[in-house]
């Protein structure tokens, strides 16, 4: 099957920016399109187009089973939900579209649209518009009067005998609408040359796939409509692919600014269990029992999710709606309506920036989106049609005549118990130590639109539009933060600027006094009942609540018993020693006893709680902690196969890792680092990536350990690095130059680790010749061999030639790219993941000059 260069190319563009979503666990959603305008006449009910034959405006192709139809429609709009499905909107669709819809259902519901971005205008010569199968084997929508091409499959089709589709072979080519709802171009012996299932729009039918073709690189994703009447590419995408965070899972992602993934389904490793749970869930629902059968396939050629529907009389589909939620929809013949069986994410506010700028999203409200104080909807008509991405605009312009607080009459209005907006900034000057100082700093900058002040994290300010402010609804969102938005004083007539802030300050002081009194009362009660301790104040592991609520607070005595008085040592590093332990529920854990921690209890708990929220398949999970007096301990999940270095460098007779395992480790570590750098609320720089900090579970899947410990320990990470044995080979040049450290130091270290994964040897070692010690820095020699095309000699000889040469060369190129001298020349970890997985091409990187110079100056002996 050959890829198409038209709509598919455009989808690939969006797919490269998207975090992909699995079609089964995410449970895709419905765009409730009803009352579409249809042409009044139909030329016939045939399901096939022959070369030269045209489907004109007003004609239809109908599948052989009568279930689907193809033709030109003009979408109309509904009021919004199932209850409003018969309500028309006065808004007009941008034009006419070639689409596929359910033929026997009275509510015309499109499931595929060809010319999404090029509607056919009402004032065009509609009768001159036609769909034709051309002599070269392409489907083309054009105006035969003006010869203007509106849409085309643009495929380089081939007939079954391998020759091009031309006048002598056109009799073997046809286009047909199948009973599955798939539009196909067929060659000799019914060979599929193109199909609409490979170019999904917003919906997924039974038998269609979401995922990768590993052979051709083709990706299948689907994107939301712009609005209920506009099928153009909207703001949200869904599919299965490695996203910008380096996570290869089902993902929902917002494409337009601010772009971010906002929902992940299970990973492929968890698919068997998830499939079992999904099938049980579907079997329990009368509307889906025997109707929806999910499947996950991952072989040498493809990785995809799909579902089938054994009951051919039923009608169902998955789709992503204009607000970024996804649903599974089943047609109820009895009620003559679509039923949305499942929705993900359940809380509409979990969709990233779904309400647009200057809005507050409340998941328990319907509709969930509302404008902030003194703001109004930018386009009420778009909101009515489900497109709220335009958000809200100010009613009154700000008074900012200069960058000094004395010249502005603007005021600040508090919005309590909300999540803070996307993209907080720190003050460029001296930090503000009080809320008043934070407010004055924001007021003095004309671009500052909001601020927030917290005692533990200080002052944060926002410039420009405010996105993703969600109200505490007591269900899924429970934030207690307060955001102060900047408003024009004219929106508060008769209230002077200074006076407008006094009640707020008074309320804060009163609340502080009452809160302090309540806190002291609670402490007294806890002490009197002997239930409070420095290490048990969060919750005890013996409560049996597990880790579903967050990290567990352990008592020091309990960890002493769990580790048999810290007798079974697993290892040691710059932060302290690690011991094996077993909890009362027989869970095996690794307990890290930290050395030299300087933080107080409050800050330590805050940092640990933040780390406990970081969940990723390629990161070691933090189970709990303990702080008692000067004792600081962290409790992690135990990794039964130890660290990567023991397997690469063959310590303690560890197993030799196969090439496929090594490659999967490289990709997994890259995903984990990409997540730390790009997915967390604040970028987390690991600063000490090396094989000792890469742990392996029972299936030898990698997990990064010791991330975020710089903040937990409360000391300068560079001081730790300079004292660690064996770490010198992983330090980026900027550690020595004194420049600011960025996430690119992790990229450099990762490149060094890649070299060791390929070669099975340390990147730096000391040899003695003629009573003189020489440092052999292997990466330089490895890169020279890579440039000479001798990758085979680089691979670990313990593999005895059993490896993929293409993958090995790709890994070596990435390693060379990562260890470039200038950090701006190094990739991001997201780019690393895409190259490792073959989704992005990479030319041969140059030899790092600094490494080459160091090697030449030290007269390193040959290998």
Domain boundaries defined on the chain: 7-344, 350-495, 541-637, 645-857
pLDDT for res 681: 66
- Under a CB-based contact definition with an 8 Å cutoff, are residues 687 and 710 in contact? yes
Tokens (6 digits) for 570: 């697993």
Angstrom distance (rounded) from CA 26 to CA 351: 13
Taking the alpha carbons at both ends of the chain, their separation in whole angstroms is 48
Q: Which residue among the candidates 688, 706, 746, 796 is catalytic per the annotation? A: 688
Sign of torsion over alpha carbons 567, 568, 572, 575: negative
For residue 278, give Cα distances in angstroms to 126, 204, 392, 426, 708. Answer: 46, 17, 39, 44, 35
Collect all residues with Cβ–Cβ distance below 8 Å to 822 and sequence separation of at least 6: none
CATH value of 645-857 in 1.10.150.120, 2.60.120.10, 1.10.510.10, 3.40.50.970: 1.10.510.10
Please classify residue 849 by burial: count the beta carbons closer than 10 Å to its beta carbon, then call 0-12 exposed, 13-18 middle and 19+ buried: exposed
CATH value of 541-637 in 3.20.20.240, 3.30.413.10, 3.30.200.20, 3.40.50.1370: 3.30.200.20
Angstrom distance (rounded) from CA 233 to CA 237: 9
pLDDT for res 234: 93
pLDDT for res 838: 85
Per-block mean pLDDT, blocks of 10 residues, the chain (863 long): 31 30 30 36 65 88 95 67 34 86 92 94 80 90 88 65 42 90 90 93 94 87 92 90 62 85 68 69 72 86 89 91 90 85 82 94 83 93 89 90 61 90 81 85 90 86 93 68 90 48 44 48 42 33 38 90 90 80 90 74 78 85 88 91 87 78 94 86 82 91 85 46 49 72 90 93 67 62 84 89 91 92 90 89 83 52 43
For residue 588, give Cα distances in angstroms to 478, 548, 784. Answer: 32, 17, 45
- The torsion angles phi and psi of 792, rounded to 5 degrees, stand at -55, -35
pLDDT for res 24: 28
pLDDT for res 829: 93
| The model's pTM | 0.53
Whether residue 706 lies in the annotated active site? no
CA atoms within 13 A of residue 658's CA, in its CB half-sphere:
8
- Under a CB-based contact definition with an 8 Å cutoff, are residues 729 and 752 in contact? yes
Collect all residues with Cβ–Cβ distance below 8 Å to 752 and sequence separation of at least 6: 690, 729, 730, 763, 779, 815, 818, 819
């Amino acid at each position: 099957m050959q890829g198409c260069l038209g709509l598919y190319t455009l989808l690939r563009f969006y797919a490269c920016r998207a975090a992909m979503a699995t079609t089964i666990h995410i449970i895709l959603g419905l765009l409730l399109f009803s009352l579409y305008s249809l042409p009044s006449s139909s030329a016939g009910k045939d399901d096939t187009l022959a070369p030269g034959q045209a489907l004109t405006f007003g004609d239809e192709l109908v599948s052989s089973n009568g279930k689907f139809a193809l033709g030109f429609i003009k979408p109309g709009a509904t009021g919004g939900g199932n209850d409003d499905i018969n309500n028309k909107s006065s808004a007009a669709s941008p034009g006419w579209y070639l689409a596929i819809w359910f033929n026997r259902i009275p509510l015309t519901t499109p499931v595929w649209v060809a010319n999404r971005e090029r509607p056919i205008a009402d004032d065009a010569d509609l009768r001159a518009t036609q769909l034709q199968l051309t002599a070269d084997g392409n489907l083309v929508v054009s105006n035969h009067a003006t010869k203007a091409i509106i849409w085309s499959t643009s495929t380089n089709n081939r007939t079954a005998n391998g020759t091009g589709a031309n006048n002598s072979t056109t009799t073997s080519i046809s286009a047909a609408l199948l009973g599955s709802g798939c539009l196909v171009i067929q060659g000799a012996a019914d060979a599929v040359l193109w199909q609409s299932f490979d170019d999904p729009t917003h919906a997924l039918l039974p038998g269609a796939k979401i995922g990768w073709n590993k052979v051709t690189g083709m990706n299948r994703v689907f994107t939301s409509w712009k609005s209920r009447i506009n099928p153009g590419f909207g703001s949200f995408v869904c599919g299965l692919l490695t996203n910008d965070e380096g996570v290869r899972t089902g993902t929902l992602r917002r494409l337009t600014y601010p772009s971010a993934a906002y929902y992940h389904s299970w990973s492929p490793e968890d698919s068997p269990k998830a499939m079992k749970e999904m099938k049980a869930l579907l079997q329990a629902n009368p509307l889906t029992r025997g109707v929806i059968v999910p499947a996950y396939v991952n072989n040498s050629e493809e990785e995809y999710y799909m579902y089938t529907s054994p009951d051919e009389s039923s009608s169902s589909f998955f789709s992503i709606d204009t607000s970024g939620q996804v649903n599974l929809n089943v047609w109820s013949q009895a009620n003559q309506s679509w039923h949305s069986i499942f929705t993900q994410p359940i809380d509409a506010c979990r969709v990233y920036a779904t309400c647009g700028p200057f809005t507050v999203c409340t998941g328990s409200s319907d509709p969930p989106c509302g404008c902030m104080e003194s703001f109004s909807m930018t386009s009420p008509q778009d909101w009515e049609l489900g497109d709220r991405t335009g958000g809200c605009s100010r009613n009154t312009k700000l008074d900012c005549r200069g960058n000094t607080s004395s010249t502005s009459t603007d005021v600040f209005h508090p919005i309590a118990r909300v999540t803070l907006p996307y993209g907080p900034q720190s003050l460029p000057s001296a930090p503000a130590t009080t809320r008043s100082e934070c407010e004055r700093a924001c007021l003095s900058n004309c671009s500052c639109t909001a601020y927030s002040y917290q005692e533990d994290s200080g002052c944060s300010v926002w410039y420009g539009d405010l996105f993703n402010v969600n109200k505490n609804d007591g269900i899924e969102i429970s934030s207690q933060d307060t955001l102060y938005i900047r408003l024009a004083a004219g929106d508060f007539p008769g209230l002077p600027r200074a006076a407008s802030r006094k009640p707020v300050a008074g309320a804060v002081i009163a609340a502080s006094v009452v809160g302090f009194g309540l806190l002291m009362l609670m402490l007294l009660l806890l002490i009197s009942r002997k239930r409070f301790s420095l290490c048990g104040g969060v919750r005890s592991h013996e409560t049996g609540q597990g880790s579903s609520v967050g990290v567990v607070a352990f008592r020091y005595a309990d960890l002493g018993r769990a580790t048999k008085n810290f007798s079974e040592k697993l290892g040691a590093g710059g932060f302290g020693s690690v011991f094996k332990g077993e909890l009362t529920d027989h869970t095996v854990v690794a307990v890290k006893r930290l050395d030299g921690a300087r933080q107080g209890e409050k800050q330590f708990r805050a940092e640990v709680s933040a780390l406990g929220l970081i969940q990723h398949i390629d990161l070691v999970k933090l189970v709990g902690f303990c702080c008692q007096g000067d004792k600081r301990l962290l409790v992690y999940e135990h990794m039964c196969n130890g660290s990567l270095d023991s397997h690469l460098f063959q310590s303690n007779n560890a197993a030799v890792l196969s090439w496929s395992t090594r490659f999967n480790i490289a990709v997994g570590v890259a995903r984990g680092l990409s997540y730390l750098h790009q997915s967390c609320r604040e970028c987390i720089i690991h600063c000490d990536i090396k094989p000792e900090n890469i742990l392996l579970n029972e299936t030898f899947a990698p997990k990064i350990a010791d991330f975020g410990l710089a903040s937990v320990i409360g000391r300068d990470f560079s001081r730790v690095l300079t004292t660690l044995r064996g770490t010198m080979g992983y330090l980026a040049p900027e550690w020595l130059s004194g420049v600011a450290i960025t996430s690119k130091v992790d990229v450099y270290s990762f490149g060094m680790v890649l070299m060791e994964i390929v070669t099975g040897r340390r990147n730096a070692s000391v040899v003695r010749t003629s009573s003189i010690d020489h440092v052999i820095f292997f990466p330089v020699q490895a890169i020279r061999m890579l440039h000479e095309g001798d990758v085979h000699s680089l691979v670990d000889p313990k593999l005895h030639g059993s490896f993929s040469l293409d993958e090995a060369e790709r890994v070596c190129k990435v390693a060379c790219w990562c260890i470039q001298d200038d950090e701006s020349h190094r990739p991001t970890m997201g780019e690393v993941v895409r190259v490792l997985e073959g989704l992005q091409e990479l030319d041969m990187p140059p030899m790092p000059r600094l490494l080459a110079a160091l090697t030449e100056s030290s007269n390193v002996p040959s290998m």
